[in-house]
Amino acid sequence: MKIDNKLIIGSATSAHQVEGNNKNSDCWIMENVKDSVWVEPSGVGVDHYNLYPEDIERMAKASYKAYRFSIEWARVEPQRGVFDQNEIEHYRKMLLCCQKNNIIPVVTFHHFSSPSWLMSIGGWESEELPELFAIYCKKVAEELGDLLPYVCTINEANMRLQIAKLMKNYEKPKADNDSQTIQVGLNSDADQFKERYMNRLATAFKTKAENIQPFISMASARGDELVMQAHMKARQAIKEVSPKTKVGLTLSLFDYQPVAGGESVCEAEWNDDFRHYLPALAEDDFLGVQNYTRKVVDENGEIPLSKDIKVTQPGYEFYPEALGHVVTKVAKDWHKPILITENGAAVDNDEDRVLFIKRALTGLQACIDAGIDIPMYFYWSLLDNFEWQAGYSQTFGLIAVNRKTMKRTPKDSFYYLGKIAKTHNI
Protein backbone atom coordinates (compact mmCIF):
# COMPACT_ATOMS: atom_id res chain seq x y z
CA MET A 1 0.00 0.00 0.00
CA LYS A 2 1.18 3.53 -0.83
CA ILE A 3 1.18 6.27 1.82
CA ASP A 4 0.71 9.87 0.69
CA ASN A 5 4.16 11.18 -0.23
CA LYS A 6 3.43 14.53 1.39
CA LEU A 7 3.06 12.91 4.83
CA ILE A 8 6.14 13.76 6.91
CA ILE A 9 7.05 10.92 9.24
CA GLY A 10 8.99 11.28 12.47
CA SER A 11 9.18 10.21 16.09
CA ALA A 12 8.76 11.91 19.44
CA THR A 13 10.16 12.24 22.96
CA SER A 14 9.69 14.56 25.92
CA ALA A 15 12.45 16.19 27.94
CA HIS A 16 11.76 14.74 31.38
CA GLN A 17 11.34 11.25 29.99
CA VAL A 18 14.67 11.07 28.17
CA GLU A 19 17.07 13.80 29.30
CA GLY A 20 17.77 12.76 32.89
CA ASN A 21 18.66 14.81 35.98
CA ASN A 22 15.75 17.23 35.65
CA LYS A 23 16.31 18.21 39.27
CA ASN A 24 14.45 21.52 39.27
CA SER A 25 11.15 19.98 38.22
CA ASP A 26 8.11 19.04 40.27
CA CYS A 27 8.24 15.50 38.90
CA TRP A 28 11.77 15.01 40.22
CA ILE A 29 10.59 15.77 43.74
CA MET A 30 7.50 13.57 43.39
CA GLU A 31 9.66 10.67 42.19
CA ASN A 32 12.31 10.93 44.90
CA VAL A 33 10.37 11.71 48.08
CA LYS A 34 10.02 8.85 50.56
CA ASP A 35 6.89 6.70 50.01
CA SER A 36 6.61 7.99 46.45
CA VAL A 37 3.76 6.52 44.41
CA TRP A 38 6.13 6.46 41.43
CA VAL A 39 7.57 3.02 40.70
CA GLU A 40 11.09 4.42 40.43
CA PRO A 41 12.85 7.75 39.88
CA SER A 42 13.91 8.96 36.44
CA GLY A 43 17.55 9.41 37.48
CA VAL A 44 19.86 9.90 34.53
CA GLY A 45 17.06 9.04 32.12
CA VAL A 46 18.44 7.69 28.85
CA ASP A 47 20.93 10.58 28.70
CA HIS A 48 19.36 12.20 25.66
CA TYR A 49 20.54 15.50 27.13
CA ASN A 50 24.07 14.55 26.07
CA LEU A 51 23.41 11.95 23.37
CA TYR A 52 20.85 13.90 21.30
CA PRO A 53 23.32 14.34 18.37
CA GLU A 54 23.63 10.57 18.06
CA ASP A 55 19.86 10.09 18.33
CA ILE A 56 19.00 12.80 15.79
CA GLU A 57 21.66 11.65 13.32
CA ARG A 58 20.37 8.08 13.58
CA MET A 59 16.87 9.29 12.69
CA ALA A 60 18.17 11.24 9.72
CA LYS A 61 20.18 8.28 8.38
CA ALA A 62 17.03 6.13 8.60
CA SER A 63 15.10 8.72 6.51
CA TYR A 64 13.00 10.22 9.30
CA LYS A 65 12.07 13.76 8.36
CA ALA A 66 10.82 15.28 11.64
CA TYR A 67 11.40 15.11 15.38
CA ARG A 68 8.99 16.21 18.09
CA PHE A 69 10.68 16.95 21.43
CA SER A 70 10.14 19.31 24.34
CA ILE A 71 11.95 22.17 25.98
CA GLU A 72 12.00 21.77 29.75
CA TRP A 73 10.53 24.76 31.59
CA ALA A 74 12.25 23.71 34.82
CA ARG A 75 15.66 23.91 33.14
CA VAL A 76 15.05 27.21 31.35
CA GLU A 77 13.49 28.96 34.38
CA PRO A 78 14.80 27.11 37.47
CA GLN A 79 13.74 30.01 39.70
CA ARG A 80 10.81 32.29 39.11
CA GLY A 81 11.89 35.09 36.78
CA VAL A 82 15.44 33.73 36.48
CA PHE A 83 16.32 32.27 33.10
CA ASP A 84 19.31 30.00 32.55
CA GLN A 85 21.03 31.08 29.35
CA ASN A 86 23.16 27.95 29.28
CA GLU A 87 20.04 25.79 29.08
CA ILE A 88 18.57 27.99 26.35
CA GLU A 89 21.78 27.48 24.42
CA HIS A 90 21.49 23.73 24.95
CA TYR A 91 18.14 23.72 23.18
CA ARG A 92 19.51 26.00 20.48
CA LYS A 93 22.14 23.34 19.80
CA MET A 94 19.45 20.68 19.57
CA LEU A 95 17.52 22.77 17.05
CA LEU A 96 20.66 23.42 15.02
CA CYS A 97 21.40 19.70 15.07
CA CYS A 98 17.95 19.10 13.58
CA GLN A 99 18.62 21.74 10.96
CA LYS A 100 21.99 20.19 10.09
CA ASN A 101 20.33 16.80 9.62
CA ASN A 102 17.36 18.12 7.62
CA ILE A 103 14.98 17.16 10.42
CA ILE A 104 11.95 19.39 10.99
CA PRO A 105 11.61 20.17 14.73
CA VAL A 106 8.17 20.29 16.31
CA VAL A 107 8.82 21.62 19.80
CA THR A 108 6.57 21.33 22.84
CA PHE A 109 7.01 24.02 25.50
CA HIS A 110 5.34 22.05 28.30
CA HIS A 111 5.20 18.26 28.45
CA PHE A 112 3.78 17.39 31.90
CA SER A 113 6.74 18.49 34.08
CA SER A 114 6.94 22.00 35.57
CA PRO A 115 9.40 24.03 37.66
CA SER A 116 9.17 23.02 41.30
CA TRP A 117 8.75 26.69 42.33
CA LEU A 118 5.38 26.74 40.58
CA MET A 119 3.99 24.46 43.29
CA SER A 120 4.56 27.11 45.97
CA ILE A 121 1.85 29.28 44.40
CA GLY A 122 -0.68 26.58 43.57
CA GLY A 123 0.72 24.96 40.44
CA TRP A 124 -1.74 24.47 37.58
CA GLU A 125 -4.62 25.72 39.73
CA SER A 126 -2.95 29.10 40.31
CA GLU A 127 -4.53 32.24 38.87
CA GLU A 128 -0.97 33.38 38.13
CA LEU A 129 -0.30 30.36 35.93
CA PRO A 130 -1.39 31.75 32.51
CA GLU A 131 0.78 34.85 32.78
CA LEU A 132 3.78 32.95 34.14
CA PHE A 133 3.58 30.36 31.37
CA ALA A 134 3.31 33.09 28.73
CA ILE A 135 6.42 34.83 30.09
CA TYR A 136 8.41 31.60 29.80
CA CYS A 137 7.10 30.89 26.28
CA LYS A 138 7.88 34.43 25.11
CA LYS A 139 11.43 34.18 26.42
CA VAL A 140 12.05 30.93 24.55
CA ALA A 141 10.47 32.29 21.36
CA GLU A 142 12.56 35.48 21.59
CA GLU A 143 15.72 33.41 21.86
CA LEU A 144 14.95 30.52 19.52
CA GLY A 145 12.02 31.59 17.34
CA ASP A 146 14.00 31.63 14.09
CA LEU A 147 14.61 27.89 14.60
CA LEU A 148 11.02 27.01 15.59
CA PRO A 149 8.73 26.25 12.64
CA TYR A 150 6.15 24.50 14.85
CA VAL A 151 5.39 24.92 18.55
CA CYS A 152 2.97 22.93 20.69
CA THR A 153 2.38 25.05 23.78
CA ILE A 154 1.01 22.32 26.06
CA ASN A 155 1.09 18.55 25.68
CA GLU A 156 -2.29 16.88 26.18
CA ALA A 157 -3.93 20.03 27.44
CA ASN A 158 -7.04 18.02 28.32
CA MET A 159 -5.11 15.54 30.47
CA ARG A 160 -5.89 17.22 33.81
CA LEU A 161 -9.63 16.95 33.18
CA GLN A 162 -9.24 13.33 32.07
CA ILE A 163 -7.41 12.54 35.31
CA ALA A 164 -10.19 14.16 37.35
CA LYS A 165 -12.80 12.00 35.62
CA LEU A 166 -10.66 8.90 36.03
CA MET A 167 -10.25 9.51 39.75
CA LYS A 168 -13.98 10.03 40.22
CA ASN A 169 -14.65 6.71 38.49
CA TYR A 170 -12.22 4.94 40.79
CA GLU A 171 -13.89 6.47 43.83
CA LYS A 172 -17.13 4.68 42.94
CA PRO A 173 -17.74 1.60 45.15
CA LYS A 174 -16.20 -1.55 43.67
CA ALA A 175 -15.83 -5.02 45.09
CA ASP A 176 -12.14 -5.15 44.15
CA ASN A 177 -11.35 -1.52 44.89
CA ASP A 178 -8.34 -2.37 47.02
CA SER A 179 -6.48 -3.51 43.91
CA GLN A 180 -7.28 -0.44 41.85
CA THR A 181 -4.40 1.95 41.24
CA ILE A 182 -4.35 4.93 38.89
CA GLN A 183 -1.31 5.25 36.65
CA VAL A 184 -1.30 9.04 36.70
CA GLY A 185 -2.75 9.64 40.15
CA LEU A 186 -2.97 8.23 43.64
CA ASN A 187 -4.70 5.15 45.01
CA SER A 188 -8.01 6.69 46.04
CA ASP A 189 -8.59 4.19 48.89
CA ALA A 190 -5.23 4.48 50.60
CA ASP A 191 -6.18 7.64 52.47
CA GLN A 192 -3.56 7.39 55.18
CA PHE A 193 -0.80 6.63 52.68
CA LYS A 194 -1.96 9.50 50.48
CA GLU A 195 -1.97 11.92 53.40
CA ARG A 196 1.54 10.87 54.43
CA TYR A 197 2.79 11.18 50.86
CA MET A 198 1.25 14.63 50.42
CA ASN A 199 2.70 15.83 53.71
CA ARG A 200 6.15 14.69 52.60
CA LEU A 201 5.68 16.47 49.28
CA ALA A 202 4.66 19.63 51.14
CA THR A 203 7.87 19.47 53.14
CA ALA A 204 9.95 18.87 50.02
CA PHE A 205 8.27 21.68 48.09
CA LYS A 206 8.32 23.93 51.18
CA THR A 207 4.65 24.76 50.79
CA LYS A 208 1.18 23.65 51.85
CA ALA A 209 -0.13 20.33 50.58
CA GLU A 210 -3.10 22.02 48.89
CA ASN A 211 -0.70 24.10 46.75
CA ILE A 212 0.79 21.02 45.13
CA GLN A 213 -1.07 20.91 41.83
CA PRO A 214 1.25 19.46 39.18
CA PHE A 215 0.01 19.10 35.63
CA ILE A 216 -0.47 15.37 36.17
CA SER A 217 -3.12 15.86 38.84
CA MET A 218 -6.88 16.36 38.90
CA ALA A 219 -8.19 19.60 37.44
CA SER A 220 -11.04 21.57 38.90
CA ALA A 221 -13.39 23.21 36.41
CA ARG A 222 -11.43 26.42 36.96
CA GLY A 223 -8.13 24.58 36.54
CA ASP A 224 -9.28 23.35 33.14
CA GLU A 225 -10.04 26.95 32.16
CA LEU A 226 -6.60 28.05 33.37
CA VAL A 227 -4.89 25.56 31.06
CA MET A 228 -6.68 27.11 28.08
CA GLN A 229 -5.92 30.62 29.27
CA ALA A 230 -2.26 29.65 29.56
CA HIS A 231 -2.34 28.33 26.01
CA MET A 232 -4.00 31.43 24.57
CA LYS A 233 -1.65 33.81 26.36
CA ALA A 234 1.35 31.74 25.29
CA ARG A 235 0.17 31.65 21.69
CA GLN A 236 -0.15 35.44 21.66
CA ALA A 237 3.25 35.89 23.30
CA ILE A 238 4.98 33.56 20.82
CA LYS A 239 3.34 35.22 17.82
CA GLU A 240 4.40 38.67 19.02
CA VAL A 241 8.09 37.80 18.84
CA SER A 242 8.08 35.00 16.25
CA PRO A 243 5.12 35.56 13.91
CA LYS A 244 6.23 32.88 11.41
CA THR A 245 6.12 30.12 14.02
CA LYS A 246 3.02 27.95 13.71
CA VAL A 247 1.41 27.45 17.11
CA GLY A 248 -1.01 24.83 18.42
CA LEU A 249 -1.35 22.35 21.26
CA THR A 250 -1.99 18.62 21.60
CA LEU A 251 -4.98 16.71 22.97
CA SER A 252 -5.27 13.16 24.26
CA LEU A 253 -8.19 11.64 22.36
CA PHE A 254 -9.81 8.21 22.63
CA ASP A 255 -11.85 6.49 19.97
CA TYR A 256 -15.17 6.30 21.83
CA GLN A 257 -17.32 3.54 20.36
CA PRO A 258 -20.89 3.12 21.67
CA VAL A 259 -22.80 -0.09 22.11
CA ALA A 260 -26.57 -0.06 22.65
CA GLY A 261 -27.43 2.78 25.01
CA GLY A 262 -23.95 4.30 25.01
CA GLU A 263 -24.39 6.93 22.32
CA SER A 264 -25.15 9.85 24.64
CA VAL A 265 -22.31 8.85 26.98
CA CYS A 266 -19.87 8.83 24.05
CA GLU A 267 -21.01 12.28 22.96
CA ALA A 268 -20.56 13.62 26.49
CA GLU A 269 -17.06 12.14 26.69
CA TRP A 270 -16.14 13.60 23.29
CA ASN A 271 -17.43 17.02 24.32
CA ASP A 272 -15.32 16.88 27.49
CA ASP A 273 -12.19 15.66 25.68
CA PHE A 274 -12.44 17.80 22.56
CA ARG A 275 -15.37 19.99 21.58
CA HIS A 276 -15.50 22.27 24.60
CA TYR A 277 -11.90 23.37 23.87
CA LEU A 278 -12.64 24.55 20.33
CA PRO A 279 -13.30 28.24 21.17
CA ALA A 280 -9.86 28.50 22.83
CA LEU A 281 -8.20 26.90 19.80
CA ALA A 282 -9.88 29.05 17.16
CA GLU A 283 -6.72 31.06 16.39
CA ASP A 284 -4.35 28.07 16.42
CA ASP A 285 -2.48 27.10 13.27
CA PHE A 286 -2.82 23.35 13.79
CA LEU A 287 -4.03 20.73 16.25
CA GLY A 288 -1.88 17.92 17.62
CA VAL A 289 -3.86 14.68 17.97
CA GLN A 290 -2.60 11.93 20.29
CA ASN A 291 -4.27 8.55 20.30
CA TYR A 292 -3.37 5.07 21.53
CA THR A 293 -6.59 3.06 21.72
CA ARG A 294 -10.38 3.01 21.82
CA LYS A 295 -12.97 2.83 24.61
CA VAL A 296 -16.17 0.88 24.12
CA VAL A 297 -18.99 2.54 26.04
CA ASP A 298 -22.49 1.58 27.16
CA GLU A 299 -25.04 3.59 29.14
CA ASN A 300 -22.96 3.16 32.31
CA GLY A 301 -19.66 4.24 30.79
CA GLU A 302 -16.55 2.40 29.62
CA ILE A 303 -16.94 -1.37 29.38
CA PRO A 304 -14.02 -3.25 31.01
CA LEU A 305 -11.89 -5.28 28.63
CA SER A 306 -12.53 -9.02 28.56
CA LYS A 307 -9.63 -11.35 29.24
CA ASP A 308 -9.41 -12.48 25.61
CA ILE A 309 -8.74 -8.93 24.32
CA LYS A 310 -5.14 -8.27 23.24
CA VAL A 311 -3.66 -5.45 25.32
CA THR A 312 -0.45 -3.44 25.43
CA GLN A 313 1.77 -3.06 28.49
CA PRO A 314 -0.22 -0.14 30.00
CA GLY A 315 -3.40 -2.22 29.65
CA TYR A 316 -4.74 -0.47 26.53
CA GLU A 317 -6.59 -2.53 23.96
CA PHE A 318 -4.33 -3.21 20.96
CA TYR A 319 -6.42 -1.32 18.44
CA PRO A 320 -4.42 0.80 15.97
CA GLU A 321 -7.54 1.55 13.91
CA ALA A 322 -8.52 4.00 16.65
CA LEU A 323 -6.25 6.65 15.12
CA GLY A 324 -8.11 6.90 11.83
CA HIS A 325 -11.46 6.93 13.62
CA VAL A 326 -10.38 9.77 15.91
CA VAL A 327 -8.96 11.89 13.10
CA THR A 328 -12.17 11.45 11.10
CA LYS A 329 -14.22 12.64 14.05
CA VAL A 330 -11.91 15.58 14.83
CA ALA A 331 -12.11 16.74 11.22
CA LYS A 332 -15.87 17.22 11.50
CA ASP A 333 -15.21 20.25 13.72
CA TRP A 334 -11.58 21.13 12.95
CA HIS A 335 -10.78 22.30 9.42
CA LYS A 336 -7.12 23.18 9.78
CA PRO A 337 -4.04 20.90 9.68
CA ILE A 338 -4.01 17.93 12.06
CA LEU A 339 -0.59 16.72 13.20
CA ILE A 340 -0.45 13.23 14.69
CA THR A 341 1.87 14.18 17.52
CA GLU A 342 1.72 10.83 19.34
CA ASN A 343 0.63 7.32 18.38
CA GLY A 344 2.26 4.07 19.36
CA ALA A 345 2.26 0.89 21.40
CA ALA A 346 4.22 -0.37 24.39
CA VAL A 347 4.61 -4.07 23.61
CA ASP A 348 6.94 -6.92 24.45
CA ASN A 349 7.12 -8.20 20.87
CA ASP A 350 8.48 -5.75 18.30
CA GLU A 351 6.55 -7.57 15.56
CA ASP A 352 3.40 -6.24 17.25
CA ARG A 353 4.82 -2.71 17.07
CA VAL A 354 5.40 -3.09 13.34
CA LEU A 355 1.84 -4.36 12.94
CA PHE A 356 0.52 -1.45 15.00
CA ILE A 357 2.31 1.09 12.82
CA LYS A 358 1.12 -0.58 9.61
CA ARG A 359 -2.52 -0.65 10.66
CA ALA A 360 -2.45 2.88 12.13
CA LEU A 361 -0.95 4.35 8.94
CA THR A 362 -3.43 2.45 6.79
CA GLY A 363 -6.24 4.18 8.68
CA LEU A 364 -4.45 7.51 8.40
CA GLN A 365 -4.13 7.13 4.63
CA ALA A 366 -7.90 6.64 4.43
CA CYS A 367 -8.28 10.00 6.20
CA ILE A 368 -5.91 11.67 3.73
CA ASP A 369 -7.85 10.12 0.85
CA ALA A 370 -11.00 11.67 2.34
CA GLY A 371 -9.41 15.11 2.07
CA ILE A 372 -8.25 15.62 5.67
CA ASP A 373 -5.09 17.76 5.94
CA ILE A 374 -2.53 15.64 7.84
CA PRO A 375 1.00 16.98 7.29
CA MET A 376 2.88 14.92 9.91
CA TYR A 377 2.83 11.64 11.82
CA PHE A 378 4.99 11.10 14.93
CA TYR A 379 5.40 7.68 16.48
CA TRP A 380 5.68 7.63 20.28
CA SER A 381 8.38 7.11 21.17
CA LEU A 382 11.83 7.24 19.61
CA LEU A 383 13.48 5.64 22.65
CA ASP A 384 12.43 3.29 25.40
CA ASN A 385 12.18 5.87 28.16
CA PHE A 386 10.77 6.91 31.53
CA GLU A 387 7.00 6.49 31.46
CA TRP A 388 6.12 8.64 34.49
CA GLN A 389 4.64 6.67 37.41
CA ALA A 390 5.28 3.40 35.57
CA GLY A 391 9.02 4.08 35.46
CA TYR A 392 11.05 2.23 32.83
CA SER A 393 8.78 -0.81 32.69
CA GLN A 394 6.90 0.14 29.52
CA THR A 395 8.68 -0.10 26.19
CA PHE A 396 7.10 2.21 23.62
CA GLY A 397 10.41 2.90 21.89
CA LEU A 398 11.61 2.23 18.37
CA ILE A 399 15.08 2.07 19.90
CA ALA A 400 16.05 0.03 22.96
CA VAL A 401 18.44 1.56 25.49
CA ASN A 402 20.82 -0.24 27.83
CA ARG A 403 20.53 2.09 30.83
CA LYS A 404 23.88 1.02 32.26
CA THR A 405 25.90 1.76 29.14
CA MET A 406 23.32 3.98 27.33
CA LYS A 407 23.97 1.95 24.17
CA ARG A 408 21.17 2.36 21.65
CA THR A 409 19.87 -0.67 19.73
CA PRO A 410 17.37 0.14 16.99
CA LYS A 411 14.51 -2.34 16.70
CA ASP A 412 13.09 -3.67 13.45
CA SER A 413 10.19 -1.23 13.91
CA PHE A 414 12.64 1.69 13.75
CA TYR A 415 13.83 0.62 10.32
CA TYR A 416 10.31 -0.28 9.20
CA LEU A 417 8.98 3.21 9.93
CA GLY A 418 12.10 4.73 8.38
CA LYS A 419 11.49 2.72 5.20
CA ILE A 420 7.95 4.12 5.05
CA ALA A 421 9.34 7.63 5.55
CA LYS A 422 11.69 7.07 2.60
CA THR A 423 9.52 5.07 0.15
CA HIS A 424 5.99 5.87 1.37
CA ASN A 425 5.17 2.19 1.02
CA ILE A 426 3.74 0.13 3.87
Confidence of residue 183 (pLDDT cuts 50, 70, 90): very low
Q: pLDDT, tens digit, for every residue of 103-140?
A: 999 999 999 999 999 999 999 999 999 999 999 999 99
Q: What pLDDT does residue 75 have?
A: 98
At 151, give phi and psi (nearest 5°). -130, 130
Q: pLDDT, tens digit, for every residue of 134-169?
A: 999 999 999 999 999 999 999 999 999 999 988 877
Rounded to 10 deg, the angle between the 85-100 and 129-144 helix axes is: 50
Residue 372 near residue 331 (C-beta atoms within 8 A): yes
Q: What pLDDT does residue 167 have?
A: 83
- Cβ burial of 355 (10 Å; 0-12, 13-18, 19+) is middle
Helix ranges (H only) for 2-84 are: 15-18, 26-32, 48-61, 73-76
End-to-end CA distance of the chain: 5
Q: What angle do CA 366, 372, 377 make, to 5 degrees?
A: 75
Confidence of residue 180 (pLDDT cuts 50, 70, 90): very low
* Average pLDDT for 388-412: 98
Query: In the CATH scheme, what is the homologous superfamily, with its name and number, of domain 8-423?
Result: Glycosidases (3.20.20.80)
Q: pLDDT, tens digit, for every residue of 304-330?
A: 999 999 999 999 999 999 999 999 999
Q: What pLDDT does residue 252 have?
A: 98
* Average pLDDT for 273-299: 98
Higher-confidence position of 174 and 180: 174
Q: Please name which of 75, 59, 67 lies closest in space to residue 16, comparing C-alpha atoms.
A: 75
Give the global pTM. 0.95
Q: What pLDDT does residue 171 have?
A: 62
At 287, give phi and psi (nearest 5°). -125, 135
* Average pLDDT for 271-284: 98
Please state, in angstroms and as integers, the Cα–Cα distance from residue 300 to each residue in 162, 169, 353, 373, 396, following that order: 17, 11, 32, 35, 31
- Return the SS3 of 86: helix
pLDDT at 271 over 60: yes
- Return the SS3 of 111: coil
Residue 420: other Cβ atoms inside 10 A: 20
Could you give the CA distance from residue 336 to residue 328 in angstroms, rounded to a whole number?
13
Q: What pLDDT does residue 181 have?
A: 34
* Average pLDDT for 76-102: 98
Confidence of residue 355 (pLDDT cuts 50, 70, 90): very high
Could you give the CA distance from residue 112 to residue 34 in angstroms, rounded to a whole number?
21
* Average pLDDT for 16-42: 97
Q: What pLDDT does residue 304 have?
A: 95
Provide DSSP, 251-269. EE--EEEE-TT-HHHHHHH
Q: What pLDDT does residue 173 have?
A: 53
Residue 170: other Cβ atoms inside 10 A: 17
Q: What is the bridge-based pairing of β-strands 246-248 and 250-252?
A: unpaired
Higher-confidence position of 187 and 386: 386
Q: Give residue limits of the domains in the chain.
A: 8-423
* Average pLDDT for 255-267: 96
